[in-house]
Structure 1
């Protein structure tokens, strides 16, 4: 199964009050770690979408074979980043693995499980309290809708409406913790998923 990987890292981390992309796990920023995992997933192409603080964050990707996509409309939410990635992938006919840099428990095994699950079902997504979200491997037919998304929404609704058996579900409760607030950071540090400040 040929696929591209898209790492979403354009947000300003307003609720957190500092760039979550620069939080560290095992001495490595979450931005660089996410890009490294995306590259290791077996993707044919790996794109990193930057927006807020792009010039500062770009240096974290030095030496990695990723394509940097700038999202000038990052304030419009996740959909704008997905649309920017879709424009950059124009002409690519494979599936697309979408991941975010604010899931500190993410491991390469999660991405391989999604790849393997999508090979049979077409799409694969991570289950978050019953809803489907990232990381997710989006089939080409659904990915073509990326430019029609709006606001701070991704492919969750489209995945939920897919016919039975069309989406393989990864149950990984550890991926439900993303980093929106200082309390989330504290919880991740307590679990060993982030380095202490």
Structure 2
């Protein structure tokens, strides 16, 4: 039987451009970090890591009743790479794919995660990415060997360059236009509220 995948929820960022923690924005009465974590758990992950950094207490409080591992990134201001290195270290002995998900895609669905996992299982690279204007983006499924390259990452670029360097015919792509809607700016949030993707209050009780 194929070993179950692990999953990482990236929730350490400071949401500087937004001006409030995007992880604590609400959709249907649920914070995005909790919603994302719940969807990841529904994917059947054997381990789920939630990495907090800025507002770590609030982030972890939102998911502390779920069966997840709570990790703290004290170097979150460096950018995405710092969280990915923590994830790779925690999963150093995990010999199965890892699903990596952010918290700023209000239209993320469980079907997206299952499609990525299924595609990765049949890809020669063992990896599957979400297409963002023909660039690889998250959610993403990484093979153990690719995840272990996280030690070389710096700043805020993540695995994009490493994935781009793989043979492209061996990399699985997931097309989900709804995942292009993220929450980097107040305008993004206002649009999401207008579309009914976020609750009108647009923040968690601790935001």
TM-score in same-fold range (> 0.5): yes
Q: How far did 1:139 drift?
A: 0.9
* d(CA) in 1 for partners of 2:11, 2:168: 31
Q: How far did 1:69 drift?
A: 1.0
Listed as ranges, the gaps of 5+ residues in structure 1 are none
Q: How far did 1:120 drift?
A: 0.4
- Which residue pairs with 1:148 in the alignment? 152
Aligned: 1:181 with 2:185? yes
TM-score (norm 2): 0.92
* d(CA) in 2 for partners of 1:27, 1:64: 17
Count of aligned positions: 197
- Which residue pairs with 1:193 in the alignment? 197
**Segment of structure 1 superposing worse, 124-133 or 1-10:** 1-10
- Which residue pairs with 1:87 in the alignment? 89
TM-score (norm 1): 0.97
Q: Provide Cα deviations, 1:38-62, integer angstroms capped at 9, x if missing partner.
A: 1111111000010001112211012
- Which residue pairs with 2:78 in the alignment? 76
- Which residue pairs with 1:18 in the alignment? 20
Q: Would you say the 8 A contact 1:51–1:74 is kept in 2?
A: yes
* d(CA) in 2 for partners of 1:191, 1:172: 17
* d(CA) in 1 for partners of 2:121, 2:58: 37
Q: How far did 1:167 drift?
A: 1.1
Q: Would you say the 8 A contact 1:69–1:88 is kept in 2?
A: no
Name the Cα RMSD after superposition.
1.0
* d(CA) in 2 for partners of 1:116, 1:65: 23
**Segment of structure 1 superposing worse, 118-127 or 164-173:** 164-173
Listed as ranges, the gaps of 5+ residues in structure 2 are 202-207
* d(CA) in 2 for partners of 1:195, 1:39: 23
Aligned: 1:7 with 2:9? yes
- Which residue pairs with 2:204 in the alignment? none
